[in-house]
Structure 1
Amino acid sequence: MFWWEGHGPGGLRVAFTDTSAGNLALHVGDDPAAVHARRRALEDHMGIRPDSLRFMEQVHSAVVAPVSASGAAQPDVPPVADALLSTDGSTPLAVMVADCVPVILAGTGRDGAPVTAAAHAGRAGLLAGILPNTVRAMRAAGAAELSAWIGPSVCGRCYEVPEAMLADAAHLPGAVSRTSWGTPALDLPAAAQAQLGDLGVAAMRLPGCTMEESDLFSHRRDAPTGRFAGLIWQPPAT
């Protein structure tokens, strides 16, 4: 179910699903009942309450949406945003992708409780500033010593773009690349890592190109297709 799973500060868990968890998105033409069943199975695997995992309606923006504590009811309509922020780390967060860059972030708040975020860093979001906005929101909530995990996405050897699109993103450090067959390309995970580094965030870049790995969803390879998720959550006390 997990492509990768690891630890964050204060006992947090960070993970990225793979295709064995199934499609987790409601906007790709899948049966909604089946999607909700997969989300419940994922929550059970994570050891969290049913319907406590928060998703968002991702629109390639730079909008960061705070979410309420995990004890609150799951809203019927997810926020329209490209990053979710939990100011006390108590709310399980999810970001869905199938080539774009999923970025999970965590830091320690003023009271010692974690501050967490999940961001959708596609080409448009990186250009708009979704990662700087997310880091600023976390620091405004008191977060220090920020760490980030950059999940699987399309790599710079596979993300072919027109010359004009390459020129539009050329000011992003790390973004300019070439495909393995020699055409213009963008390296979005490298750009995300460079942005986070400039913001003073220690970022771990995880392996896995969505175009190259059959166990990951890729819109470019298989459209229409499903979405996998980047996750951060606080396991229940045992």
Structure 2
Amino acid sequence: MTAHRITADGAHFAFTDRWGGVSAVPYDSLNLGGAVGDEPAAVAANRERAAGSLGRDPARVVWMNQVHGSEVAVVDRPWGDGPVPAVDALVTDRAELTLAVLTADCLPVLLADPVAGVAAAAHAGRPGLVAGVVPAAVAAMTGLGAEPARISAVFGPAVCGKCYEVPEALRAEVAAVVPEAYAETSWGTPAVDIAAGVRAQLARAGVPAAGGPGICTLESADHFSYRRDRTTGRLAGYVWLDGRP
């Protein structure tokens, strides 16, 4: 369920795999995405299970309506019954909140400065990389008192640069903005390396090198992959700070 969990100096990072839930094929079984065609009751049950496995209150997990942009929301409470904003990064200084990001090939980026008590979760696909969603999240964190040199960054499972094949024109378009994302597949065709691009953006922002499990979703049968399966579920990355559950 929460297959990868990292704790560092008062900050907590976790990523799910696809197992341990109640969703039926093709979302089997721990689908946490509410907009992929799965039964809403199954998604709600899966979200409760995942939060419970982390010792977190599912009612205090904050989700996003992800749109592949660069908008950031600073949050101090759950959305409740209101609309979920269309953003691709969340930032908070509230320890009682858990921030969540959904992915199925895009890169989940979790950030935390425990000294300042500030955390962030960002959804970095190819459009978000180009738009600068992760640097925008870092900027929002610094606005709440975080210092880039103190920020811990953790990347979750995502399609790797050796598998993310794109047309040559698209690779050139991305590389014109983030040169470090220029890549080639293992079979010799144009590709984009999202993780390399985000890592470079973080370095330019003064954030130390990111850690994480280093799993390629397209290659791993234990993880959802949109590029591999099209109709499928969504993984989640979670970040929170020491404090109330």
In structure 2, what residue type is equivalent to 1:208?
Answer: I
Equivalent in the alignment of 2:236: 229
Equivalent pair of 2:2/2:50 in contact (CA under 8 Å)? no
In structure 2, what residue type is equivalent to 1:50?
Answer: P
Counterpart check, 1:206 vs 2:213: yes
Counterpart check, 1:46 vs 2:54: yes
SS in structure 2 opposite 1:170? helix
Equivalent in the alignment of 1:138: 141
Equivalent pair of 1:4/1:15 in contact (CA under 8 Å)? yes
Structure 1 unaligned blocks of 5 or more: none
Aligned 1:187-202 pairs, distance under 5 A: 187-202=193-208
Q: Give the drift of 1:236.
A: 5.6
The whole-number CA distance in structure 2 between the counterparts of 1:217 and 1:55 is: 18
Q: Indicate which of 52, 61, 83 corresponds to 1:77.
A: 83
Q: Give the drift of 1:78.
A: 1.6
Equivalent in the alignment of 2:167: 162
Equivalent pair of 2:96/2:244 in contact (CA under 8 Å)? no
Kindly provide the CA deviation profile for residues 141-166 of structure 1, in whole angstroms up to 9, marking residues without a partner as x.
10121111011100011000001100
In structure 2, what residue type is equivalent to 1:18?
Answer: D
Q: Greater CA deviation, 17-26 or 55-64? A: 17-26
Q: Greater CA deviation, 48-57 or 227-236? A: 227-236
Q: Indicate which of 108, 116, 121 corresponds to 2:119.
A: 116
Equivalent pair of 1:89/1:114 in contact (CA under 8 Å)? yes
The whole-number CA distance in structure 1 between the counterparts of 2:131 and 2:83 is: 24
Equivalent pair of 1:132/1:199 in contact (CA under 8 Å)? yes
Q: Indicate which of 147, 151, 154 corresponds to 2:156.
A: 151
Equivalent in the alignment of 2:6: 6
Q: Give the drift of 1:46.
A: 1.4
Equivalent pair of 1:150/1:193 in contact (CA under 8 Å)? no
Equivalent in the alignment of 1:57: 65
Give aligned pairs, total. Answer: 232
SS in structure 1 opposite 2:58? coil
The whole-number CA distance in structure 2 between the counterparts of 1:52 and 1:205 is: 24
Equivalent pair of 2:108/2:124 in contact (CA under 8 Å)? yes
Q: Give the drift of 1:134.
A: 0.5
The whole-number CA distance in structure 2 between the counterparts of 1:159 and 1:48 is: 33
Aligned 1:171-190 pairs, distance under 5 A: 171=176, 172-190=178-196
Runs of 4+ in 1 over 6 A off after TM superposition: none
The whole-number CA distance in structure 1 between the counterparts of 2:185 and 2:219 is: 13
In structure 2, what residue type is equivalent to 1:67?
Answer: V
Structure 2 unaligned blocks of 5 or more: 21-29
In structure 1, what residue type is equivalent to 2:19?
Answer: S
Equivalent in the alignment of 2:225: 218
Equivalent in the alignment of 2:101: 95
SS in structure 2 opposite 1:164? helix
Q: Indicate which of 40, 43, 61 corresponds to 1:35.
A: 43
Equivalent in the alignment of 2:24: none
**TM-score, reference length from structure 1:** 0.92
Calculate the aligned-residue CA RMSD, in Å: 1.7
**TM-score, reference length from structure 2:** 0.89
The whole-number CA distance in structure 2 between the counterparts of 1:214 and 1:189 is: 20
